[in-house]
Structure 1
Amino acid sequence: MTAPSLYNAVVKRPWLLKLLQPVANWYTNAAGYRQMGLRADDLISEENETVLKALRRLPPKESYDRVYRIRRATQLSLQHKILPRSEWTKPEEDVPYLTPILEQLAAEAKEREALDTMTVLKKH
């Protein structure tokens, strides 16, 4: 299950997007995950069965890169350090790679539920 999002409502209103963009940029920088070399989707907890299914669907390279980023961030956290600015995750690199798979799994679950609860009526 994914978190609810107001993204579509904000994008439809340019004045609201212009108003909230600086706040969103500040919040992303304050979170500090990019300073550790992580992407936003790296922060998704692996305790959910749906997330585990999505991780199994990742291409091998993307899966390896995720594990590398998380291990490097863990090591930096233990050392109480951050990466040099040149190695921080740039905003254009911070693209969702796991969220589209999670959305696909949610759509599949919804379709499966609809098909499992379907009733067939016989005409006399």
Structure 2
Amino acid sequence: MALTFKSAVQNSKFLSSFLKPVSTAYANVAGYRQIGLRYDDLIAEENDIAQEALRRLSLSNPREAYDRVYRIRVAQQCSLSHSLLPKEQWTKPEDDVRYLRPILEEVTAEFAEREAFDNAKVLPRK
């Protein structure tokens, strides 16, 4: 198993205690919570992997898919009116969960497996 930055940070008490406040401050400065969005709402929908993940989300959890579309529409309205939502309507950090990331990872692995299978070289017998 390869050591990733994420696992290194999670396994190190020092790195975790140092980077957690930085990541919290970044999320607050980014401003997406102030217009009612979650982090996974920011994922671009223009590629095949994201499209498939969103299709699976709507099949497995239609309420979450509906809520996502609603949050994006509210954010667009805030953008058009150059305003933020009232503070009580901001997305709370505990509500900002990664709902699309597990599906994206699953779809990415399936696409990579399909690509590897489609590009398999068949060697003739000797």
Common fold: TM-score over 0.5: yes
**CA shift at 1:20, angstroms?**
1.0
**Aligned AA (2:10):** V
Relative to the length of structure 1, the TM-score reads 0.86
**CA shift at 1:115, angstroms?**
3.5
Higher-helix-fraction structure: 2
Percent identity at matched positions?
A: 55
In structure 1, stretches of 5+ residues that fail to align are none
Q: Partner residue of 1:52?
A: 51
In structure 2, stretches of 5+ residues that fail to align are none
**CA shift at 1:60, angstroms?**
1.6
Relative to the length of structure 2, the TM-score reads 0.85
Q: Partner residue of 1:75?
A: 77
**RMSD over aligned Cα atoms:** 1.8
**Is the partner of 2:94 in helix, strand or coil?**
coil
Q: Partner residue of 1:28?
A: 27
**CA shift at 1:66, angstroms?**
0.6
Q: Which 4+ residue blocks in structure 1 deviate beyond 6 angstroms?
A: none
Q: Partner residue of 2:101?
A: 99
**CA shift at 1:121, angstroms?**
7.9
